[in-house]
Amino acid sequence: MTTTAAPVAAPARPAHRDPNVLRWLGAYTTSMVGDGIYFVALSWAAARGGSPGQAGLVLAVGAVPRAVLMLGGGVVADRLGPRRVVIGSDAVRCAVLLAAALLLLVASPGIWLLACLALVFGAVDALFLPSVGALPPRITAPDQLGRVQGMRGLAQRVATVVAAPLGGLAVALGGPAAAFAVGGALFVVSLGLLAAVRLRPLPADDAAARGGSPVRQLADGLRYIRGHRLLAPLTLVAAVTELGFAGPANIGLVLLADRRGWGASGMGWIIAGFGVGAGLAALLLAVRGRIPRAGAVLSAGVIAGAVALGCIGFAPSVAAATAAGLCVGLCTGLGGALVAALMQTAADPAYLGRVTSVATLFTMGVAPLCYPVVGAAIGAWGVEPVYAVCAALSATGGVIGLCSRTLRRAELPR
């Protein structure tokens, strides 16, 4: 089954001036803001509707279908076409949020509704995330993919900044029902913009590669990544880096701020440093459009970011930890954008959904499993040694990249 799409000629203008790319970017941004508002509303409703343990369970339950179904989501993206899957995902999220808002207005269904809502969103994310990653090469020219990843990074930063206060305001004015309704309305806007996005048609041989049973397609995708000279080391670098980074950057910061007596405000400053650094990296890539020696810069940046991550564990003050966090955000933000851009330029379009799903599985599915391990390790051995070990693991990803001749010499298209 294929998606019918109007052909798009290679844009004669940069991506940030291409109306087709801007429609996609607007759809992506409003979808991310809606997703953030949903999380604020879900968190508040769970905290008010159940015990702390039940609230934690509701917030965690969405990760299960996301991790379990992620690889299947890549197959669906390649089989049906990424635009169709993204539109369907936003439509489901819109309908579910509006239905939840209505139920909360007329009844008090309890914690079970919120758990079901989290499960549905987790399952939809498993479809949405690979498809979003497969869209940029179908809407712009290869030499614009670096710039598009920078623009996407800026959109993520904007969504992070806007979603929390907007969701909080909606909850304050009308409770979780109002916040769910606002999130649903944003998905309606996203749907309208996505409907106007035009895709490049796949070449005939790429379209044929999407045939076969879902199980065969998944196996073909995994073999394709394993046998690819660039995608195989690139995926390994991304996975190892994230496994070392995820724990210290999340649960590790909470425990660090608590043990040093910095409090929630200190943790907030460090997280803000991450955000500013990542935003600067995204802005750099969006403006320049291309970073020379992308593979070498990516690998070296991973090592530099890992060193800065380790410094956070040994920082004597909030100011020092915030400065280190800014360096981490700058290096990892640039590295993450370059990983995505290199994957999208190297992969055949027919395999992009599966390629993206494998990379996303590690960042969104496997890496969060490190949280309890890192928390237990900090409880047993303290902050400094755990940050040092995790930083060394993350830096190993950069070393792997530098040791791969293909990745080290990889370039983005001119």
* pLDDT reading at 2 higher than 60: no
* pLDDT reading at 3 higher than 60: no
CATH number of the domain within which 372 lies = 1.20.1250.20
Distance (Å, rounded) from C-alpha 375 to C-alpha 371?
6
Are 230 and 337 contained in the same domain? yes
Residue 90 lies in a domain: yes
Residue 203 lies in a domain: no
Instruction: Retrieve residue 48's tokens.
Output: 């008010």
**Average pLDDT taken over every residue of the chain:** 86
Are 344 and 283 contained in the same domain? yes
Instruction: Retrieve residue 213's tokens.
Output: 């049973």
Domain count, the chain: 2
Are 218 and 120 contained in the same domain? no
Type of residue at 203: P
Distance (Å, rounded) from C-alpha 358 to C-alpha 221?
9
Are 218 and 257 contained in the same domain? yes
Are 239 and 386 contained in the same domain? yes
Q: 71-103 pLDDT, tens per residue?
A: 899 999 888 888 899 999 999 999 999 998 888
Residue 348 lies in a domain: yes
Tell me whether residue 261 is exposed, middle or buried, using C-beta atoms within 10 angstroms of its C-beta: 0 to 12, 13 to 18, 19 or more. exposed
Are 119 and 184 contained in the same domain? yes
* pLDDT reading at 61 higher than 80: no
Q: 152-210 pLDDT, tens per residue?
A: 888 888 888 888 788 888 888 888 889 999 999 999 999 999 989 988 776 654 554 55
The distance in angstroms from the start CA to the end CA of the chain is 34
Q: 241-256 pLDDT, tens per residue?
A: 998 998 898 888 888 9
Residue 8 lies in a domain: no
Are 184 and 220 contained in the same domain? no
* pLDDT reading at 311 higher than 70: yes
Are 258 and 384 contained in the same domain? yes
Alpha helices of 107-144 — where are they, by DSSP H? 111-134, 136-139
Residue 398 lies in a domain: yes
Higher pLDDT among residues 280 and 108, named by residue: 280
- Which percentage of the chain shows pLDDT scores above 90? 37
3-state helix, strand, coil in the chain (%, to 5): 85, 0, 15
User: Which pLDDT value is given to residue 6?
Assistant: 43
Residue 84 lies in a domain: yes
Are 258 and 385 contained in the same domain? yes
Residue 284 lies in a domain: yes
Higher pLDDT among residues 214 and 322, named by residue: 322
Residue 320 lies in a domain: yes
User: Which pLDDT value is given to residue 165?
Assistant: 84
Are 311 and 391 contained in the same domain? yes
Q: Which of 125, 123, 127, 117 is nearest to 180 (CA)?
A: 117
Are 284 and 136 contained in the same domain? no
Instruction: Retrieve residue 30's tokens.
Output: 């409003």
Domain span holding position 323: 214-408
User: Which pLDDT value is given to residue 233?
Assistant: 95
Distance (Å, rounded) from C-alpha 307 to C-alpha 297?
15
Are 173 and 297 contained in the same domain? no
Higher pLDDT among residues 118 and 264, named by residue: 118
